[in-house]
Every structure is written in structure tokens, then in C-alpha cells.
Amino acid sequence: MSLASDQDAGEQRLSENARRMLALREQVFDTWSRRVRDQVLQARALQQPILIDTLPVFYDNIAQSISPDYPRTSAVDGTTVAAEHGGERARITTYDHAALIEEYQLLRWAIFEVLHREGVALDHVETHAVHASIDSGIQQAVEAFSLVHSGFRERFAAALTHDLRNPLAATVTALEVILLTSDPTRIKAVAAKALANTRRMSGMIDELLDTMAFHGGRKIQLAIERVDIHAVVEEVLADAIAAHGNRFAVEGGTLQGWWDRAAMKRVTENLVTNAVKYGSMGTPITIRTGEIYGRLVLTVHNEGEPIPAQEQECIFQMYRRAESARREAKGGWGIGLPYVRAVAESHGGSIGLDSSVERGTTFVVDIPLDARAHQNTSSLAQEQA
């Protein structure tokens, strides 16, 4: 059966070599999948359906294009299949432009490798058609990939501007009140609010700069000190309870380690905020801290709609948010979870995720108790840079 984008079952119009290409589709993609997982770092953890994506349809379009009697001049003639592939790579994988291009180059290699192995000899015109299709596919996929990422950045900029506007407006209002009053008590109270909002903006900007640096291949500069993580959690929850009510449970006692206190507090705040935002209304949120084999395990659990498997990696990427968050118009600018990953990996650890309908959603920060020896450990972002 042909999977080509026009779904034309009239294989009688296909040339002999085109029909043989269709018969060898599975071998081509078995060969391609192994090579892509071996050579493209971002492809290694992808589920097979996500890895394959729309490429079999593109491949069958190529088979049509090498047939002189078939009305398709190339694999992208009259179809958006390559553009859709590039768009999906942007939306639900960690691919960059180089990875996207490389997988098309490997598809070219796999096609000719399998055809040669199976004794299928293409003439000059057929060979040219294959090359032209692959090159056109690369162009359209990269254009769509770039457009999607441009959209991510635009939404990020809009969300960032919106989130900064609120504390900035509150600060301006507080300063205006100070200018209009001579009451020392009133001035002190209003100044405290202005200072709190200014610190909030400063924290948002620092978080953004740290995450951008991390995704650019640099480690976050940590100010490591002796920290009681339980005390950090209690601080975060005091603010969370004041804002969202007493729906939080804490498990675990005093636990000392060597970490960046400010960064770990931001990590906890981001995970708790994420649980409030995406958890089912009124259901409990549980924060646990514990030590095992010289490592801190910090978890935040909420009930609610699970994060689909195909979105579980992209939520840790810059400018990216799960499709459900965009669909439901949740607030935020998509930097919280990437920042959590940056901090965890900069401490020599990781951030994990477990999510299902039955189990709810749990984020797991797993880092050494003593991070002083791990500040120079390579990060995922550095390996991909």
C-alpha cells in the first residue's frame, strides 16, 4: 500500500523501480532509524512513532516522483508533508536545525544503501529525482521549523512583557503614593511593597539570564553553601499557602546539603507554582524531601490531567510549553521548568517527570547532597551545543 500524500492506490502508473522502493520501505526505515539514533543525540530518547513522524509519506512521494508516468515531479510537489515534519520536530522534540538536516541526509543515505543492497539500480534521472526531493524536503522542513520557533519566541516575549508589567506597575504606583504622602508609617509600608515587586522582577530577569546561559552551553554560576532544604521548602510553602490556601502537604524533615540556596528556592517555587497551575482545583499538592545514597530527592506531586508522553521533554526546553498549557491559555512565559533543569544539572543532578491519569504528575529533582564537586559536570545543554 502506498502512503503517499495523495493516497493514490494506482500503482500501475509507477515504474518498476518505484514499486520496488515501496516494497523496501520498512527496510529503509529500519536502517535509517538505527543510524539516526546512533548519530543524532536528540533522536535517541524519542519514541519510535515520534521519530518516524511523516517521513514514510515523504518517502512514498519520492517513489512516485521517480516514475515518468506519475504526475509528481518531486516529493514536495503540491504537498506540505516536509513542512509538517519540520513543524512537528520544532513543537515536540529537542531538535535544532542541524539535527533536522542531518536526519534528512541520513534518509538519503539509507535509501541508496538499501536499494544498492537489494540490487535496485536507479538511472541518472531517477537518482536526480531522489536527490532533488531530499534537498527540497530539507528546505521546506527547515523553513517550517524556523517559523514555529519564531512563534515560540514571539509568544515568550509577549508573556514575559505581560508578567513584568504587573510588578512594574505595582512599583510605579507605590512610588507615586510615596511622593504624595508625608506619613512615615505609610511610606514605610508602601516602600516595602515596591521593594518586594522590584525583587520579584529582578528574580525573573536573573532566572531568564541563567536559563539562556545554560541553553547556550554555559553552566549556571552557583553560590554553594550549607543549606537545610526542609527550611527552604517551608519558606516557599508559607507564601504558597497565603496565596492559594492550605492545600499543601510536606513530608520529610531537616536535611542538610551543599547547594545554591537561592537557586534551590527558585526551583521549589517553580515546581509548586506549576503544580498549582496545572493540578486539579482543590486537590492536594505534596512536597517530599529525602536522602538516599548521598543524594537529595525532592519531589512535587499534583493530581490532574497528565502530561502526554510526546510533550514530556519539550516542557523543559526554552520558549516551549505543553500543548495543553497553550490550549487552555495558562499564564506564564515557559521558563520555569527549563530553569529547574538548568539548576539541577548545574548541581550535578537531574530533573525527572512521572505523569499518568492514575498516578498524577510528579516532578523529581535528584541531585548530590554535596554539589561542590560537581559544578564542572557537563550539562545536557552543553552536550547539545
Return d(Cα 89, Cα 140) in angstroms, integer. 13
Neighbouring residues of 1: CB distance < 8 A, sequence distance ≥ 6: 9
pLDDT tens profile 10-32: 677 899 999 999 999 999 999 99
CB atoms within 10 A of CB 120: 17
Tell me, what's the pLDDT at 355? Answer: 87
Kind and range of the H or E run holding 73: none
Retrieve residue 351's grid coordinates. 530533573
What are the phi and psi torsion angles at 297 (to 5°)? -120, 110
Tell me, what's the pLDDT at 22? Answer: 92
Tell me, what's the pLDDT at 282? Answer: 84
pTM: 0.52
Q: How far is CA 383 from CA 40, 96, 265, 342, in A?
A: 12, 13, 26, 13
Tell me, what's the pLDDT at 378? Answer: 45
Return d(Cα 21, Cα 210) in angstroms, integer. 49
Return d(Cα 42, Cα 100) in angstroms, integer. 10
| DSSP annotation string for 217-279 | T------EEEEEHHHHHHHHHHHHHHHH-S-EEEE----EEEEEHHHHHHHHHHHHHHHHHHS
- Provide the residue type at 368 as one letter: P
245 φψ region: left (φ > 0), alpha (ψ -120 to 50), beta (else): left
Tell me, what's the pLDDT at 9? Answer: 54
Low-confidence ranges of the chain (pLDDT < 70): 1, 7-10, 151-163, 203, 207-219, 310, 312-314, 317-334, 374-385
What are the phi and psi torsion angles at 289 (to 5°)? -130, 140
| DSSP annotation string for 316-350 | GSTT---HHHHHTT--S-S-HHHHHHHHHHHTT-E
Kind and range of the H or E run holding 353: strand 350-356
